[in-house]
Structure 1
C-alpha cells in the first residue's frame, strides 16, 4: 500500500528541510521507495518564466496575478505527479503550503484527492510563530520571497494555525526548536 505524506504549512516554517531530513529514515523504517515532490523544485523555473512574462518579476510568487493564474495549476500538476507515482506503487512526499486545501479539508477527502485505492494518506502541518517564520524568510534571502516580504501585512492575513479540534486529520509539528525526540515521534507516526 503506497503512502502519500504531505508536509504543509506557511512560508518559512521549514517544510522542505523537514521532508529532506525524514525521507531517508522513512524509507528505512517502512521499506518503501519514496519520491519527494517539492512544489518549488517542480515549478520554480516555469513559474519564473511565466511571471516574468506576466508581470516582469520572475521572483513573484504571491501577487494577485500569481495567485489568479499560476497557483492552482501548479498544485494540480503537483498532485497529478503524486498520483502517477502512487499508481506505480511508489510512495510520495509532497511539500508545499497547500493552505487553501488544508483549510477546506481537501487533503483528507478521497473524492477530491483521487489517490489510488488503498493509499495511506498523512498530512503534517508544519508551523511556528509568525515572527520566527518572518525571521527565517529574511535569513534565507530567497528572491521568491521578495514580494511576500514587501507586502507582509497582506501576506500575514493568509497565515493561520488550523485548530486541532477542527482538523483531526492533521499531524501537527512545531518546528520552532525540535529535538531528536520530536523528530523520532514524527517518524514513528508517519511510518506506522
Structure 2
C-alpha cells in the first residue's frame, strides 16, 4: 500500500540495481526497510520496484504530513515549501522524522514496511557518531525492531534535471537557488557518508 500523492516519473535503473533490489527483497519481507538518498535520486522508483517484490506497507515522507509541514513553514518564514533551511531542519524535520520512524516500527510488528525518505539529517548524525544508520534510527525509535537501510546512489549532476522534470512544488526553492542547494546539500559530503553508513547501496 502507498500513501496518496502525485506520481513522479520513474528513473531508469540498471540491471545491476534491479538485481540488488531482488536480493534485498529476500530480507525485506519483515521489519522496516528504509530507502534513503538525495531528493530526485530515484528513491521512489527503488521503493516501487521493491514494493512489487515484497508487498509491504509503504510510507512516503513527502505524503506523510505535507499540510502540516507547509502550514508550519508558512507561519515560521512565509515559505510553505521550505525543506532545506536551518529553521526547517531544527524545528520541523526532527519531529516529523521521529513520527515517521515510530509509525514504521509500529506497523512493522504486523507486516513489512518500506519507508521512502531522504533521511539526510540522520545520515549526517550517524556519520558524525561513526554508527550504522540502522542503529542510529533504532535508537531514535526506542525499539529493537529489525531495520535495514538502503542508499540510492546517483550522479548528482543529473539531480537538477530530474527535479525540473518532476515539477514538484517542494523542489522550487532548491531550483531557484541551485548553487546554494548544491553547495549545502549535494556537495556537503553526504554522497560519501550515505553509502558508508547504510546497509545496502542501489546505484541508479
3-state SS of paired residue (1:135)? helix
SS at match of 1:149: helix
Structure 1 residues 162 and 152 mapped into 2: Cα distance closer, same or farther (>3 Å)? same
The answer for the alignment partner of 2:105 in structure 1 is 83
Could you list the runs of 5+ residues in structure 2 that have no partner in the other structure?
A: 1-28
The equivalences for 1:40-189 within 5 A come to 40-87=62-109, 89-103=110-124, 104=126, 105=131, 107-109=133-135, 112-114=139-141, 116-117=143-144, 119-156=145-182, 157-159=184-186, 160-162=190-192, 166-167=196-197, 169-175=198-204
Partner of 2:42: 14
Question: TM-score, normalization: structure 1?
Answer: 0.76
CA-to-partner distance for each residue in 1:152-186, whole Å, 9 max, x for gaps? 2232232322368843x4311111xxxxxxxxxxx
Change (3 A) 1:166 1:14: closer
> What is the aligned-residue RMSD (CA, Å)?
2.3
Distance 2:201 2:114 in 1: 16
Distance verdict in 2 for CA 1:164–1:13, change over 3 Å: closer
| TM-score, normalisation: structure 2 | 0.72
Q: Distance in 1 between matches of 2:159 and 2:49?
A: 19
Provide the aligned length of Structure 1 versus Structure 2: 166
